[in-house]
Chains A and B, each alone.
Chain A
Amino acid sequence: MLKKRIIPCLDMKGGRVVKGVCFESLRDAGDPVESAALYDRMGADELCFLDIGASVENRGTLFEIVEKTASRVFLPLTVGGGIRSVDEIRRALNSGADKVSLNSAALLNPGLLTEGALRFGSQCIVLAVDVKREGSSWRVYSHGGTRPTPRDAIEWIVEGVRAGAGEILLTSMDRDGTGEGYDLDLIRTVSRSVDVPLIASGGAGSKEDFLSVFEAGADAALAASLFHFGTVDLRDLRRTLFERGAPVRPPFDLLKEPFP
């Protein structure tokens, strides 16, 4: 059976993890490679690097970090934040990323999804969408959630999949950072509208939130500060989900086991 995935996200700016990962064995909370290695051993199913600075001059730094991470963390990596061209997608993949997430660049030019999918396969093209609720629908925002667009979330996601996206990373801006739980209504609606995998993001505050979002139809659940601040321990989360019958990989703790 295909398992539901737990994905810690490392938000980065200038090559450092924003907020920082709090864990007693981690000497440098801002080091993305060390943080990724720790999450790998604690039981992540996949990792996401998001460059929220997204400045062009930092792009090289981002790819270097991906390369260093992929040299010692043997786990799927998704990279996003400011990637604008097929050449940048290629560089990210060559650095060791398995998937690239596109957000503002895809809104500006949906053809980028198609070009990327034709060249590298849609399995590595993730469409990241930031949305805010307006009445009974959701509006898409661009540029890290700072600019409203005229687009409706469901329409844009359907169009993005048709253009070539192989997965959706969907963030509820209403819930992001609140710890009030994922927007289940949103997840249900999007999950019914497309036939590609869906990663839910924004709002995770407890272990129960993961159970509910998987039941609502998400194939994967992403969280950042929840894990960084130690509110929820990844090992403990996996154990709880597994014991409560959620379709996740069984508990393991590589911190206690020899490599490989």
Chain B
Amino acid sequence: MGRPRSVVIDYGMGNIHSVSKALEAVGHEVATADTPEQWEAFDPTHLVLPGVGAFGEGISRLEKAGWAPILRKWIADDRPFLGICLGMQLLFGESHEFGTHRGLEIFPGAVVPFDPTKGKVPQIGWNEVRRCATHPLWDGLPEAPDLYFVHSYRVQTSNGAIVLGETDYQGTYPSFVGRSRVAAMQFHPEKSQRAGLRFLKNFGAL
């Protein structure tokens, strides 16, 4: 198998530089694309949807730039996909961040806020992700590695089968989800030193 050719989608939601550099560090050939045309020209084998910031802004930018149908088809075809942080949340049904917004509805569930009366919000820092299902992305990683989080909202889902890892902060929530070659993580692998890079390396092998 050759090097993974990964496109990092640039839809104006935060720092894509770090994600690109981290993917390169573990052997991906990387291009960033802010239009679907650029994506087609690169002919990727892997697709990465990063992002930080507000859900509503994120989904409307994806729709406006024409990414939403491409993502839905790519995922329906079970091609290698990785969502990071907001890029994970957008895969779910809906969010109530600044009004109600529909997501890409790949996975059932909703995006809900942490409660500032129960602990500090946002959650910023290193927290454990406990493995709760086997998946090739877990290869070579410990049962509960520490990974870097920074977020004020989290997902909840009725489908336990997609939960690959979970984290405790104001209760237990899914911090790593996926099925087959489609995966998404609430933490930032590109900011999580060795463990984070290992996830990105494993993603390249999907």
Contact = CB atoms under 8 A, between A and B. Distances in A.
Contact of B126 (A167, A249, A257): A249
A60 interface: no
B9 to A, nearest CB: 15
B194 A219 contact: no
A76 B198 CA distance: 17
A197 B124 contact: yes
B53 interface: yes
A123 B22 CA distance: 21
Given A76-B191, A260-B201, A71 B15 contact: no
Among B14, B25, B127, B193, max chain A CB count under 10 A is at: B193
B15 A96 contact: yes
B124 A219 contact: yes
A72 B21 contact: yes
Nearest to A95: B17
Interface stretch (A1-9, A151-159, A204-212): A1-9
B148 A257 contact: no
A94 interface: yes
Contact of A2 (B169, B190, B193): B169
A75 B22 CA distance: 10
A195 B52 contact: no
Given A74-B196, A260-B25, A122 B17 contact: no
A70 interface: yes
A161 to B, nearest CB: 10
Among B146, B149, B168, B196, max chain A CB count under 10 A is at: B146
B157 interface: no
Interface string A192-219: 0001110000000000000000000001
Interface in A89-127: 93-99, 119-124
A166 interface: yes
B120 A74 contact: no
Given A5-B126, A195-B116, A260-B194, A74 B121 contact: no
B180 interface: no
A197 B52 contact: no
B151 A75 contact: no
A197 B120 CA distance: 6
B205 to A, nearest CB: 14
B60 interface: no
Interface residues of A, number: 42
A257 B197 CA distance: 14
Interface in A117-139: 119-124
B21 A70 contact: yes
A42 to B, nearest CB: 11
Given A2-B169, A74-B18, A74-B197, A197 B192 contact: no
A34 interface: no
A220 interface: yes
A219 B26 contact: no
Contacts of A233: none
Interface in B109-126: 116-117, 119-126
Contacts of A260: 25-26, 194, 197-198, 201
Interface of B: 14-15, 17-18, 21-22, 25-26, 52-54, 116-117, 119-128, 146, 148-152, 168-169, 188, 190-194, 196-198, 201
9 contacts: A70-B17, A74-B22, A121-B14, A123-B52, A195-B119, A196-B122, A197-B124, A249-B126, A260-B197
